[in-house]
Amino acid sequence: MNKRMIIMLVACAVVLGGVFGLKWFQDKMMSQVFKEMAAGQTVTVSATKAKQDDWVLSLNAVGTVRAIDGVEVTTEAPGVVEKINFESGDPVEEGDVLLKLRDDVDQAQLRALQAAAAEAQSGYDRARKLYANNNLSESERDLQRSQLVQAEAEAKAQQERINQKTIRAPFDGELGIRQVDQGQYIQPGTPVVNLQSLAPIHVDFSLPEQRMSQIDKGMKVRVELNAYPEETFEGRITALEPGVNSDTRNFNIQARFPNEAQKLRPGMFADVNVQLPGSEDVVTIPRTAVSFNPYGNSVYVIKEKEDAKAAQSDAGESADGEGEPTLIVKRRFVETGRTQGTLIAITNGLKPGERVVSSGLLKVRNNAEVQINNSVTPPEDTAPQPDNR
């Protein structure tokens, strides 16, 4: 019985070993076939040379567009809306009548108060004449004058209450969406319409306190908006917050823009670029040439195969120097700096004049053979202006 069990276990071990061995052999052969196929495949890519350039120094930030004057127009007095003199979205000038509340009762009260003031004026005039002829005491004359002053004040106060029922534009700007209807009874403080002054306009942003010594009034500022990605808007710094926020350690900055086309609207998100005096020499390539990864950014440098024999020998590959030289790519880790337009600065790892793959990065691997086709290449521009389609 024991002998039979041992024979059975040995047979099972042999069978299982054969199965796993066959599977390992098949995987190895398939891997080798795919490796040989990949090694012999030439990938078509576009290429560009790293260039030495002179970039203006700048600082980047994010900001918010704000109107120089912006207000929610409200009422100071209660009443029924009698007339609306605007449409949603209308441009208005300072002093334009936007809305009138019904004031019939107030007008009647004003006429009564004005009549009382006129009567008080007549009484005071008579009192002055009598006092001048020594027919009235000084105290009685002063009483008539006090009554006149009180009557005129009541009439003026009533006139101001009537004026409050005529809503006017406090400044030039553009109206938003109307929020009241004709015939509606409204209370003091009821929003009527939003009014924003759009030209000129402000962009507020902040920078770390370490940058405070580099920023001053009058510096040029450029902003880009998500709503108009093909355009850049220019303005200048007009104000700096004198203190630093103790929570964020940032200081606030305000820039003014002409905004004649009124494309900058309050509340918009803005990418801000502050132009600093001076410039710096940088090595630039298209951003599409950089493979961005958590463990480090890299590029594929294009070399002639003969120039890479030593590297290939270290990697266990053979180099064929016969005939026309073929091209291979070598992956190289680089340090990247700031960007301008479609270009990115390389601060370390690349020299001017070296060729790199500018498109087709997903198709290549280290030491792969490539051929260059630059019939279609990524744009290389610090301030691209795409067609508006």
Best mean pLDDT range from 10-14, 15-19, 347-351: 347-351
- pLDDT tens digit sequence for 195-253: 998 889 999 999 998 888 888 888 899 999 988 888 889 999 999 988 888 888 999 99
Confidence of residue 388 (pLDDT cuts 50, 70, 90): very low
pLDDT of residue 308: 46
Give the containing element (helix H, strand E) for 108.
helix 104-132
3-state secondary structure of 339: strand
Pairing of strands 43-49, 369-372: parallel
Confidence of residue 59 (pLDDT cuts 50, 70, 90): confident
Q: What is the residue whose two structure tokens read 């961005």?
A: 292
Say which CATH topology domain 58-68+197-279 has.
Elongation Factor Tu (Ef-tu); domain 3 (2.40.30)
Separation of alpha carbons 339 and 14, rounded Å: 63
Beta strands in 268-380 (DSSP E): 269-286, 298-304, 327-333, 335-340, 343-348, 355-359, 369-372
Structure tokens at 170: 């406090």
Domain range annotation of the chain: 58-68+197-279, 103-164
Best mean pLDDT range from 21-25, 57-61, 101-105, 322-326: 101-105
CB 64 within 8 A of CB 257: no
